[in-house]
Amino acid sequence: MYRFLLTPRWWGINAFVALAIPFCIFMGTWQLDRFEDRVDSHQEAKKAPAPSERAAVPLTELLPVDKRTAGRPATASGVYGKQFRVPDRQVDGERGDYVLTLLKTDGGPVLPVVRGWVPKDDPLPAAPSGEVTVTGVLQPSEHMGTDGVHSTGGLPAGQLGMISAASLVNLVPDEVHNAWITLMKADADMVAVPPVMVEGSGLDLKAFQNLGYTGEWFVFAAFMLFMWFRLVRREAEEFRDRELGLTPDPAA
């Protein structure tokens, strides 16, 4: 009755199912691993002390910035230079602007430093002159998916839509660190900008998307197997009916 499984058409169907089911299981397992990694990162982040409770270390010891070093207090020395307004940023539920000043570090690239937050359209406080040593929380460069970021195109001179080396490369002549810090204590009576959680280190929407994709891939695998059994059963029933003479043989 099941000789039809050896026909060329069914060889193609069987090969497709035999490849598709393991692929779906692999993708579902990969998405589950991604979710479990985010859970582990979230647990580690909860156990880690707050930035204010950790000792600050020289910036060079924390670069390049990654999940392990992002959120760590860092110190850097140098001279403040060009300053930018980063518009439409929210702190404590209020809309305003970050005050970002580039710090020319001793013997290295410039470091973007968010010195604080001011209400919209308030003048930017001048940066301290001369050699300074700053202490802030290390943050990775922003990208277009980061909250608050918008396109830098069309902004007035002196404004920056995204804090990143890529957005600064054409605005300053110096090499720029692919990271930035937010001061733990804001300058000039500004409001300190709280550090943000590193992407992929918490149970955010993307983490639960991974869990949802896990279920989808396993459902695809089960549906593929179910449909294969349905097709086999239907073909077997048609073959049996032809053998019993209940339906005409199309080859006759």
CA separation for the pair 70, 67 (Å, rounded): 5
pLDDT per residue as tens digits for the range 26-69:
999 999 898 888 777 767 666 666 655 678 899 999 998 887 88
Over residues 150-158, the mean pLDDT reads: 77
CA separation for the pair 177, 57 (Å, rounded): 17
36-41-44 Cα angle (round to 5) = 130
- CA 159 to chain CA centroid, nearest Å: 25
Under the banding of pLDDT at 50, 70 and 90, the label for residue 76 is very high
- CA 16 to chain CA centroid, nearest Å: 34
Two tokens at 46? 């909860």
CA atoms within 13 A on the CB side of 158: 8
The 3-class secondary structure across 162-204, one letter per residue, is CCCHHHHCCCCCCCECCEEEEECCCCCCCECCCCCCCCCCCCC
Q: 91 — phi, psi (to 5°)?
A: -135, 125
| Helix 205-243 with 8-47: angle, nearest 10 deg | 160
Q: Work out the mean pLDDT of the chain and round it to a whole number.
A: 85
CA separation for the pair 184, 193 (Å, rounded): 8
By C-alpha distance, which of 244, 214, 231 is closest to 26?
214
